[in-house]
Structures are given as C-alpha cells and as structure tokens.
Chain A
Amino acid sequence: MNILEVESLRKIYPAFTLKDVSFTLEHGYIMGFIGSNGAGKTTTLKSIMGLAVKDGGTVRVFGEDFKENELKIKQKIGFLMGETDCFPKHRLGQITDVVRRFYPGWNAKAYQAYLKRFELDENKRVDELSSGMRVKYSLTLALSHNAELLILDEPTSGLDPVARDDLLELFQELIEGGDMSILFSTHITSDLEKCADFITYIKNGAILESCSEADLIAKYRVVKGTREQLDALRAGVVSCRLNAFGFQAMMETAKIPGGAGLMVEAPTLEDIMVYHERKGDETHESAAV
C-alpha cells in the first residue's frame, strides 16, 4: 500500500519552479529524498504539507487527498523541518503542554518513555539543547501522537557523525515495527546508504530518479579508461572527468559496451549525485563527452 503518493506537484516561485514532481512511498519503508542545495527538496516537502500553496498536482496520504482531509491526515504525520527552533526560550514541558492539546490521540506514556530514552529534560529550554537533542525532541512529539508517517527535512544536517548514526539507527528501529514510514530529505548521501530503502532524487525542481536504492545503484556504473576509449562511449555517459591517465565517467549500466577493456565499478549514491549535478556544467564542458 502506498502511504504517500505525490503526482505532478507543481509550485512556481519567481526564481524557481517545481516541475511536476511525482513519486510514491510504500508503507513501512524509509525513502531518502536527495538533491543538491536549492534543488527543491524543502519546497517539495512544504508543498506536500500545505505550508507552501501548490500550483498544481495532487498529494494523497494514507490513500486520501491531502487537501480535502488535511486535519485528519496531519493527526498521523510527524513533520520536522531542519532543527526545531520554534519557541527557543520556552521549556520543553511548556511546549509539550501545548502540543498535546492538538492531538486527541496523544500518548502520555509513550511521551514519557521517549523523554527517558533520549535523556531529554523537560525543564530545559529549546535553545539549551544541542542540534541532535532538538531533533530527538521533535521526534518525541511526533511519536507521542502516534504518527504513522514522518516527513523530515534535513534532520541530520546539523548533527555530528555519532548523533547522525544514532538517529539513523532510530529510524530503522521505528520502521521495524511495521507501522511507520519515513520520508527524509538530505544532501548527506552516506546517511541513506545506512538506512534508506528507496531514493528519490530531485535536480533543478524535477525528479530525476525515484526507485529502490539497489535499483538506483544498479542502474549506473563508474567507468574508467583511457582518452581513446572515451571516444567510443559517447552515448550513455552522464558526465565525465578527464585526468592525466584518461577519464573517469558515470554511465548507465545498460549502455556500457561489452569487451571494451574498461574498469567498471558500482557507484555510491554520492557518485550518482555528483555526476548528475556535473552534467552540462560549463566548467566540465571541455572535459565532457
């Protein structure tokens, strides 16, 4: 069952356009939403949540149209944008006392359990928490109103490697129960290698790829060879870099000619993103095929 279906989502700003963004997230999985800075990740998430008023397209969550059932759907969504820094001078207890009133299904026991687990002190003010603790407090609130879908915008971007790892482990633990699905955006692709089942990649406001992580990795290969070999590979090269020894390029796996004597290896998510971002880049134009 698809827990989130985004179809032809469009948002037009004077200097940026989200172009018919479509993807789906299945129930019980983690989807990583990647793209470089300014690619449209936050705009997409904001448009999904109705924070940005979309100019076209549909968003269906839990099988229902988001716009028509917004309040009902939001009861089951935990949304977090970057570091939580609303009401920075208020104590966590004061904020929780307000937040719980918005959710009839608030689970006080779960809230206390997560506070204890994350070692959060209700008497602390928001701005006394580290970035990681702020994210954990937001997750505590989301998990205490029994959210079934977490939509997180760059939750790991301000965290140190240990805090990031903790958080990613927590994500995996959350979906193991089978009741939770997570869509989170990031430009730190190594996060996704640790926990994402599906990857959606956005570039310049348009979706470039949306599939399982394994399929995405399998679709491309990093190819190395001499400059002479490069001439025979014009079709299928995403982008390439020339160096003193020859070239290094990313190609679609299906388009790699057999028996060409090339060095071929599987790309990382970072490779896929970097090569795609360099496609058509003027500074590499001279080096590109």
Chain B
Amino acid sequence: MKALLYKELKLVVNPLFYAVALLSALILIPQWLYFIALLYFCFMSAPNLFTLSKSYKEVYFSATMPVPRRDMVKARVLTVCALEVLQILVAAVCVALKLTVMPTPNYIFMDGNLAFLGLAFVMFGLFNLVMLPMFYKTAYKIGVPVILATAVALVFAAAVELGIVYDVWFTRIFDGMQTTGAHIATLLAGAAVFAGLNIAAYRLSAARFEKVDL
C-alpha cells in the first residue's frame, strides 16, 4: 500500500494540483459564492488527475505490480481525498482569517465559517461517491463520471446557497460570522459524512474494479 501511495505522489499527482488547492483562497473575496472556490477541485484537479493517469497507463502499470486490485483503488481514493482535504485546509485558513480579521458577513450567500467547511466535506463526499464507482466500472472512461459528479456537487452547493437565501431555519443553523455550537457540529458531522461516503465509494469502486478486464 505504501508503494502505491508513493507511486501516486511521485508519478501521478502533478504539482499543479497543489496550486489548484490555493484557489480556495478565493474565499477571501467579499460577498461571493464561496463553494465555487472549492469546486475548482471538481473542475480542474479531478478530471486532470484521472486523464493524466490514463495517458500514463497507470492502471496497467499498477496491475502488473504485486499488489491487490483493491489496494490500487484504495490508493487512488486516498489520493483524491488528500487533495480534497488540502483544498478544504486552504479554505480553512482563509475562513479563520475572515472570522478573525475581516468578520464582515456575506449579505446574500453563505458566510465563510466552520459550517461552510463541514458542508464542503459533504459536497466532496457526494462528488466522490458518484465519480469513483462510475469510473471503476471501466477504469478508463472518466468524462461522464466527472461531469455527473460535478453536477451533483453543484446541485448540493446550489441547494445550500438557496437555503441560505430563502430559508430562515437554514440561515439560523449554518450562517453567521460568530462561531456557534451548530457550526462546530456541522463541521464535525460533515467530516464524518465525508469519511462515510468515501468508504462507501471505495467499497463500490473496488468491487467493480475486480471485474474489469485490463
């Protein structure tokens, strides 16, 4: 497993993907849709990661190594998760800056707060749950899985933002620049949902990949 993760890090993950994580800093823009800053992962990193991997024939390379197929999937799921967590970590630093240095609320859309980070975890969890099992049905077709998964992430983000705009209950629970117990609970619950969805994505993907002819 260590060797597979090392392979992902050294041969598959392009350093530019780390730069995409820096785009989370767009959260610092006032009065903006902050989910967009995180969605750059879905727009850029995810499709490029799998397309590069395909052009490198990485699946074939790994399949000839003495490792189980399940571990190949696990290494990729962990890589995707690590890049998403990095995207959220950069966002977290920006959220901390907003909460402490520039606590002006977002008058229309969701504030950049801890609840936002929790909901971002859920968004990425849903993205992975759709994309990964779809991709591992063939282990080479990435276009439709990424488009559908991005659509699901966009719908989730739009639903949250619409809730903030039109629903008072939603605003009371998730919005605001003062950190509340609900915000902390949302962050923790979001992280737990992210873990759960990724475990499900891994299991489904691994089961499908076992049946793929390479």
Contact = CB atoms under 8 A, between A and B. Distances in A.
A103 B68 CA distance: 14
Contacts, number: 63
Given A51-B214, A94-B10, A81 B68 contact: no
Contacts of B170: none
Contact of A75 (B10, B60, B66): B66
A155 to B, nearest CB: 14
A99 B66 CA distance: 10
Interface in A78-131: 79, 81, 85-90, 94-95, 97-99, 101-103
B11 A87 contact: yes
Interface string B5-18: 01100110000000
Interface in B166-214: 210-214
Contacts of A79: 64
A209 interface: no
Interface in B62-102: 63-68
Range of interface residues on B (Cβ < 8 Å): 20 to 34
A29 B118 CA distance: 61
A41 B67 CA distance: 24
B2 A46 contact: no
A53 B10 CA distance: 29
A71 B68 contact: yes
B213 A98 contact: no
Interface in A121-175: none
Given A46-B214, A51-B214, A98-B7, A86 B68 contact: no
User: Which of the listed residues A72, A75, A86 has the most CB atoms from chain B within 10 Å of its own CB?
Assistant: A86
B57 interface: yes
A13 B213 CA distance: 10
Contact of B213 (A52, A89, A94, A97): A52
Given A71-B68, A88-B56, A53 B211 contact: yes
A199 interface: no
A182 interface: no
B3 interface: yes
B56 A49 contact: no
8 contacts: A51-B60, A53-B213, A70-B68, A72-B66, A90-B56, A97-B10, A101-B2, A101-B6
Q: Which 9 A-B pairs have the closest CB atoms?
A: A74-B66, A101-B3, A86-B61, A51-B214, A52-B213, A86-B57, A102-B65, A102-B3, A98-B7
